[in-house]
Structure 1
Amino acid sequence: MTLFDQKAESYDDFCRTPLGHFVDAVERRLIGAMARPRSGESAIDLGCGTGSYTYWLHKLGLSVTGVDLSEKMLEVARRKGDGRVPFMRADVTHLPFPPDSFDLALANATLEFVADPKAALREAYRVVKPGGRVVVGFIAKLGPWAEQYSKRGREDATSVYHGARFFSYEEAVEIGPCIPEQVRFGLYVSPREFTDEASAWSLEMRRRVSQDEAGAGFMVVRWRKGTLPV
């Protein structure tokens, strides 16, 4: 049983809090801007967990498959829907799909928990079509959120963050299958600074002016199949 199996039933609780709702909204907007999902496209959600982004893509009109290694997380994901969205237990480093299967491969806060993130990105790149997008959301290594999660992982061996690895942009480039097409940063509000969502959004937008990695808690990197290799 994985740590994620043990946390599956309570995994979505954070997103139901004001802070969690804000974090989810910031991340989803950034991922949406980078993924540019279009109705009629095919997509794979890698490390889909309880299916939050899988169902989001489905509601946008995409044909999407959710993939995760934790069967308990997948059970929670399946309960949220009516059976029309397929979920599959699989290792993201060995995907059971032929090459050129999807228009979009999405992974949000997934590679932090994968033993071989380079292999996972190589597989994501393999299964997207020529010109397809591989879009990955990372908990930014240099930001306050990674600091908090690292501390939690060190202090609690049952935390899903125990043993998690966080990435800087340079490290994301190193594990990527080709030269990234674009990167965006966000979540400049630290957990300690949050008071309410309206104030947090105001602070977030003021700090986003520089659009760099310093202080960002989250980053999204997009690779496109057919781009020159690293």
Structure 2
Amino acid sequence: MALFDEKANTYDDFCLTPIGTFVDRIERDMMAAIARPVRGEKAIDLGCGTGTYAYWLRDMGLSVVGVDLSQDMLEVARGKRKNEVTFQKADLAHLPFGDNTFDLAICNVVLEFIDEPATVLREGFRVLKPGGRLIVGCINKYGAWGKKYTRRGQEDPMSIYSHAQFLSYEDILKIGPNKPTDVRFGLFVEPEEFRDFEIAIQLEQTHRQRQDNIGGYFVIRFEK
């Protein structure tokens, strides 16, 4: 967590770049399609970081709790708006909430940085109400983006990716709380292919039709 504390003030910078805007758009659209948030639901963002997805859910009319172990990340999240989302410091492997509390739990690009991802998934599932959904988004270790971030982590010990262990869809199947009800792959545009946001969006659709492209990101839905 110390590394994330150090990166808290610059963590959102990537999403402000053209390529970061593209990645965020693809991942968020996929998350929305799989999670299908409903106004009035109670949601928890597991590993909320600087609150990007927590506020996204809040803007859709959900009541949201964001949980993270990095105090500095949470301070950045709290500073973005006032009293719209409840942010709480907690260990994702030991959530301070009772069973059957939330309608929706999201965990986006978090398991890659967790020592016990299976435990985190079980905890996220535990706090869901019957019929609730646990939505997990991961950088695919077999995709170009996962390989790029792996190299970055190997080359730069100060990169957050130096501690990442990227996962595949098959890895999540082995540790998931039950059989997933939906999965979606995306981010088929590789980092070196990016030239422009609009062109990348079009290229993403073209690549999606091909069978030989490995998505750089995937989202899985588990239902309780």
TM (normalized to structure 2)? Answer: 0.98
Instruction: Give deviations 1:180-213, integer Å, cap 9, x for gaps.
Output: 1111000001111100011101110011125x79
TM alignment of 1:62-211, pairs within 5 A? 62-210=62-210
1:15 — aligned with what?
15
Cα distance in 1 between the residues matched to 2:17 and 2:212: 26
Contact 1:133 1:222 in 2 (8 A): yes
Instruction: Give deviations 1:14-42, integer Å, cap 9, x for gaps.
Output: 00000000000000000000000000000
Which structure 2 residue ranges, 5 or more long, are not aligned? none
2:215 — aligned with what?
216
Partner SS state of residue 34, structure 1: helix
Cα distance in 1 between the residues matched to 2:159 and 2:30: 26
Please tell me whether residue 54 in structure 1 is matched to residue 75 in structure 2. Answer: no
Contact 1:142 1:213 in 2 (8 A): no
Instruction: Give deviations 1:39-95, integer Å, cap 9, x for gaps.
Output: 000000000000000000001000000000100000000000112311000111110
Contact 2:54 2:66 in 1 (8 A): yes
Instruction: Give deviations 1:110-155, integer Å, cap 9, x for gaps.
Output: 0000100000000000000111000010001110000111011111
TM (normalized to structure 1)? Answer: 0.95
Partner SS state of residue 183, structure 1: strand
Which structure 1 residue ranges, 5 or more long, are not aligned? 226-230
Question: What CA RMSD, in Å, does the superposition of the two structures yield over aligned residues?
Answer: 1.1
Judged with a 3 Å threshold, the aligned counterparts in structure 2 of structure 1 residues 96 and 126 are, in CA distance, closer, same or farther, namely same
Cα distance in 2 between the residues matched to 1:224 and 1:3: 33
Judged with a 3 Å threshold, the aligned counterparts in structure 2 of structure 1 residues 213 and 105 are, in CA distance, closer, same or farther, namely farther
User: Which residue identity is paired with 1:10?
Assistant: T
Contact 1:153 1:163 in 2 (8 A): yes
Aligned length: 224
Cα distance in 2 between the residues matched to 1:16 and 1:183: 28
Judged with a 3 Å threshold, the aligned counterparts in structure 2 of structure 1 residues 102 and 213 are, in CA distance, closer, same or farther, namely farther
Q: CA deviation at 1:163?
A: 2.1
Q: CA deviation at 1:102?
A: 0.2
